[in-house]
Every structure is written in C-alpha cells, then in structure tokens.
Amino acid sequence: MIDVVIAGAGPNGLMLACELALAGIRPLVLERLTEPSTEQRANGMVGQVVRVLDRRGLYERLTSPGATPEPVPHFVFGAFPLELSDLPDNPLYALPVPQRRIEQMLAERAAELGVEIRRDHEVIGLTQDEKSVTVELRGREPIEAAFLVGADGGHSVVRKLGPAGGHSVVRKLTGIGFPGVTADDSVSRMGQVSVDPGMVGADGGLAVPDFGVVPAFRHLRTERGLVAWAPFPDRDPLLSTVEWDQPAEGEASLDELRASASRVLGVTDVPLAPPTGPGPHVMRRLFGGNTRIAERYRAGRVLLLGDAAHVHSAIGGPGLNMGIQDAVNLGWKLAAELCGHAPEGLLDSYEAERAPVARRVAMHTQAQSLLIRPGGEVTALRELFGELLAQPTTRQHLADLMSGADITYDMGPVTGPLVGRWAPDLPGLREATRTGRPLLLDPTGTLDTGPWAPYVDTMTVPELDTALLLRPDCYIAWQGTTDDGLRDALGRWIRAV
C-alpha cells in the first residue's frame, strides 16, 4: 500500500511531495494532464513563500547560485501604490517567475528525492475506511493508499466552466462543502502584446497617447475599470484589464483586449500589436470570480490542499503564498502520522492553523476587489484610504497582512514574544532548515532534548539571547534560556518512540 497519493502535480502538490520525501515518506503524485501545462498562469510569488523556498534551498534554483531574497521597496494594494522602503521591518518579498518554471523546478526536486509522478492518471472516485483510501482512476487499476491529498484545485480546463467555482474533484468526491460568494458582474481580460519601443519609458511605464503613463507592475484604476501593464524582461509584456457590466462572447482576442483598454483609459485607441516572442502566448478572458473556503480540510483519510481548499481573487498574488505554505504545514504532520511520531490531534492542527489564514486572505482580497471598482462611492472610499496609507503603521499592517508575516499559530501553554511566529533570519539558518526537521537553536550548546534527541537537529547560535525550538515549517514552538518547558513543547509536536 502506498503511503500518500497526491492528486495534482501543480506547485502545491509537488511541494507537498518534496516535504514528505524529506521526512522519509515516498508519495505518489497523480496528474490527469499528459504533459506539463504551457498555459501562463501565476507570474511569480509574493510574500512569505519566497523565504520558505529559500529555507528549503529552492530559491537559488529559480534565480542564481548564492542568491538570497530581498524585500521589494514598492508594491500595490487595491490599485494603490504601497510604499515599503521606509518601513522598519519590510516583510514583503517577491519573485517574478512564471508558474510553469516553478512547477518544473519542483518536479525536478521531487524526482531528486525519489518521488514518482504519474501523468495521464485522472481520479474519478474514491472509497475509504479506517485504514486506507482506494483511489479510482479512469481506465486504470485502482490504487490503495494510507492517505489521499487533493491538490487538484487549479486546473484551468475546469476553472473556465463558470462562476460557481469548486473545481477540485477530490473535494467533491468527499462531499466537503465549499461555501462562499460569487461575483459575476466583472470581465477580466489578459494577453501578451507588443508595443512600439518608444512608448515604454526608462521605468517601464507605458505612455498611451491622449492619456499619459500606465505605470509598470501596478494596477491603475479609473472610473471605468482597471488596467495593469507588466513589461517582463524575459518575455512579451502582459496587459490586463477588468471591467464591470461589459458583456463578451466568442474567443478572446487582441482586438477585444485593445478595445477594453481603450474604454478603461478613456482614449480612442491603445496601439497594441501581437506578441513577437516565442509562444505559447497568453490571451484569455474570465468572467466573475469566487471567494470560497472548504467547510473542512479533512474527511477521514482525505485531506485538501491549496486551491482545493480555498479560492479567492488573484489580486495581490496571494495564491502560491498560501498554497505552498499549506503544503509545508501539512507535510511534516502527515509524515509524522505515517511514521508513528504524531501526538494525538497533530494532523487536525493542519486545518486549525491554515483555515484562519485562508479567511484572512479572503478578507483582504475581497477588500481590494471593492477598492478597484468604478463609481463615485468607491472614489470617496479611495480618497479616505489614500489618507490612511500616508501613515507608516497602516502600510506596515498591510505589508504584514499580504505577506503572511502576521501569522501567529497557537502553541498551547507555551508563551513568549516569539512563540507561534516564523523564525527570523539568523546566520546558518538557511542551510540548517533544508532538511525539513525540527531544529533547536541553542545559544549555549548545553540544552538537553532527552528522548527527542533522534528527532531534532541542534545548532549552536551564540548570537541569540534565548533558545528557540523550530518546527519543520520554521514556526517557533518554544523559547527559553533553560531546559524548563522544552521537553513539554517537544512532546506537544513529536511523540518519541
């Protein structure tokens, strides 16, 4: 019997496979597509996920050897420029890499760790009992596993079926509800284009005749809609628009995108030409949007991950930030369950910790979606919100919110100013956390982990004035200057056998 079957070979499913493999579990990844998708979807990663990948040694694979993440000095929130350079603690990191490259890198890493990926394997049914789950496949023999994880929530073929949302086959098969709201009055258009080089300024902004400059990598809201211009250095630039109450039919086209951009900017024409670089090229149209969160993340031996558990607006780029951190949270807990090292309730803490994060992301993406709508009432709201953004405390709050740096998990009776938060950067920590094991940072080198010693790595860090116990996902489970409480904290997360 297989330990874990993961349905879906997108970034979230592949990251979970890597995390399980680090813990000694050999999962099987099933993907219904015969080949990796060439469709351009996410254009990169924003938030804590960038540092999470760095802690696993994966950031360099997407950038260059020796590279380390740096926070971005500027970002956007609800089509407002978000100035971050003056913040005392800027937590917002970004990595502009196409999703297909992220998937390729994670697939390569999974293969290095011995993970098997079977393509052209479509899940069509499942049954489970107290000991296993049987996964039924189209045209293939069923597979029995101890656990099944549905990471199948991001397939674009199903995503285009309409505004009702809820496209995870695994979630539907388990009967888990997917409550939320649907907004069906907007039309989003996106396409790769080319423009006259003279229209692009030194800062990347697009100079549109009779309008002015559309800034690069920012949302620009007008009284008629939203437009965004993204001049990526290594591929054709991307132009996108959002309008409300503008019907459309037929195949998405460059002419349609050009007309939409002209309406939003209030000009006669935006001179766009077809892309000139190698394809495949993006040209798509989406109607409406959904904000939905699964009623539960677990049904017996079936768990949900990423978009299978939550969907929301893509504004601000929170999708991979949340989904990959779901995977890092679930991976070590599921591995502990399989290896017999999980204390009672550990696996259920996955939902307890991650569902509130999904609700916060739903909250801020819905808020941003309201701030970009046209209309005089929204303009008045934006005027007030703009005044609030002049305050550094407001911008710090938004940066923490969007990055996920404000997440604090409940560590039970353990307390301390750092307990429950993600471990700060320290010398040697990037290398020490690549194993995905619990880690004790000990300033003195004298703390005793007792029977938990085989399960915990220890690193002496003289720079610290307090010892820190890090869970495999780098969240701090305990802090102190003596052994007092350390073993109780270890016992909460690891069952020593």
- Listing DSSP states for 188-244 in one string gives EEEEE-B--GGGB-TTS-EEETTTEEE-BTSEEEETTEEEEEE--TTS--EEEEEEE
Q: pLDDT-based confidence at 120, cuts 50/70/90?
A: very high
Comparison of pLDDT for 159 and 39, the residue scoring more? 39
Which pair of tokens denotes residue 409? 């998990």
Q: What is the pLDDT of residue 317?
A: 87
Hey, which CATH number is domain 421-493, 2.40.50.140, 3.40.50.300, 3.40.30.120, 1.20.1250.20? Answer: 3.40.30.120
Q: Do the Cβ atoms of 431 and 74 come closer than 8 Å?
A: no
Q: What is the pLDDT of residue 66?
A: 92
Q: pLDDT-based confidence at 160, cuts 50/70/90?
A: very low
Task: Tell me the domain boundaries of the chain.
Answer: 2-180+290-403, 181-289, 421-493
- Listing DSSP states for 313-326 in one string gives --TTS-HHHHHHHH
Q: Do the Cβ atoms of 242 and 368 come closer than 8 Å?
A: no
Which fold does the domain 181-289 belong to in CATH?
Alpha-Beta Plaits (3.30.70)
Mean pLDDT of 42-61: 94
Hey, which CATH number is domain 2-180+290-403, 1.10.760.10, 3.50.50.60, 3.40.50.300, 2.60.40.10? Answer: 3.50.50.60
Closest-CA residue to 38 (of 194, 240, 291, 235): 235
Comparison of pLDDT for 93 and 44, the residue scoring more? 93
- Tell how strand 310-311 and strand 283-293 pair up: antiparallel
Comparison of pLDDT for 247 and 80, the residue scoring more? 80
Q: What is the pLDDT of residue 154?
A: 52
Closest-CA residue to 67 (of 417, 430, 310): 430
pLDDT digits (tens, 9 = 90+) for 427-446: 899 999 999 999 999 999 99
pLDDT(161) > 80: no
The H or E element that residue 24 is part of is none
Query: Token match 């029995």: residue?
Result: 144
pLDDT digits (tens, 9 = 90+) for 413-427: 999 999 999 999 998
- Same fold? 2-180+290-403, 421-493: no
Q: pLDDT-based confidence at 280, cuts 50/70/90?
A: confident
Which pair of tokens denotes residue 319? 């999708």
Mean pLDDT of 29-51: 87
Q: What is the pLDDT of residue 235?
A: 86
Q: What is the pLDDT of residue 248?
A: 85
pLDDT(96) > 80: yes
DSSP 453: G
pLDDT(158) > 80: no
Q: What is the pLDDT of residue 159?
A: 37
pLDDT(62) > 90: yes
Cβ neighbours of residue 426 closer than 8 Å, sequence gap 6 or more: 441, 461, 463, 464
Collapsing DSSP to helix, strand or coil, 132 comes out as: coil
pLDDT digits (tens, 9 = 90+) for 435-489: 999 999 999 999 999 999 999 999 999 999 999 999 999 999 999 999 899 999 9
